[in-house]
Amino acid sequence: MQLVIAGLSKTYANGVKALDNVSLTIPTGMFGLLGPNGAGKSTLMRTLATLQEADSGTAMLGDIDVLKQKHEVRKVLGYLPQEFGVYPRVSAYQMLDHIALLKGVIHNGERKALVEALLQKVNLWEHRKRRIAGFSGGMKQRFGIAQSLIGEPKLIIVDEPTAGLDPGERNRFYNLLTEIGENVVVILSTHIVQDVQELCSNMAIINKGRLLFAGAPNDALAEVKGRIWEKSIAKGELEAHSAKYRVISNKLISGRPSIHIFSEQHPQDGFTAAEPSLEDVFFSHIHGALETAAA
């Protein structure tokens, strides 16, 4: 089973081209879709989740035509949106029970066993009688995972899952995601490089609706190896360095700016070779230092 997206495009009524001829093959396992805000990630996720239409292109999940056989897709889809909108004032137990019923788990005993197992799995058993509206961000996300797992999905779409979670909650969420079966296509859309670095065996980078890279994180790192240089500078020196070099990131380390630049050759001038991170790859693409389009 894999998800094969070919030539997917979407232009909104206001003229924004949110997806520009995106072609991407996504195998089973955890796949990271990385891009800055406004890159088109939600548009792609919502299209795959049958919540909105593309203008052109195709997406096949195994032999299901995702854009045409919406009913078939929904049967095998687990979707965890960025925001649920209004959180229901019913308990976690009641809500899961309700969703399971909607997804066709009609037999009462079977549904009870399923709901109980899911609440245990996502560590919300103790809180099962509490209203979801009163949950913390991390608890809401874990509830989201529980509901997305009903019905043994083959495709799980998780949109910006860790935004707003504290580090402890994020770790619990990561652990939960990695327990999802290996035979499921899991797409994790995020602007947080660390999410992809820690979880994903394959990834893509998109920006302004265009695919900039697709492959394994290690291949992404190989792209920039030997081309990333770092230097600690004084605050007032940033502008001059930005004018002279291709600055791809700028972080404060102990209150002093530390810049990473992209350069084919050693720039001298006090720079040292940096061990590239996925963040360097991401920013090199976003800033246009790597122009090679993904295959």
Q: Interface residues with ligand ADP (CB under 6 A)?
A: 12, 14, 16, 18, 35, 37-43
Q: How far is the CB of 40 from ligand ADP (least distance, A)?
A: 4
Q: How far is the CB of 160 from ligand ADP (least distance, A)?
A: 7
Minimum CB distance to ligand ADP smaller for 14 or for 292 = 14
Q: How far is the CB of 79 from ligand ADP (least distance, A)?
A: 14
Q: How far is the CB of 4 from ligand ADP (least distance, A)?
A: 21
Minimum CB distance to ligand ADP smaller for 28 or for 189 = 189
Q: How far is the CB of 264 from ligand ADP (least distance, A)?
A: 30
Minimum CB distance to ligand ADP smaller for 18 or for 80 = 18
Minimum CB distance to ligand ADP smaller for 23 or for 171 = 23
d(CA 8, CA 43): 11
* Structural contact between residues 79 and 66, judged by C-beta atoms closer than 8 angstroms: no
Minimum CB distance to ligand ADP smaller for 43 or for 50 = 43
Minimum CB distance to ligand ADP smaller for 190 or for 202 = 190
Q: How far is the CB of 162 from ligand ADP (least distance, A)?
A: 14
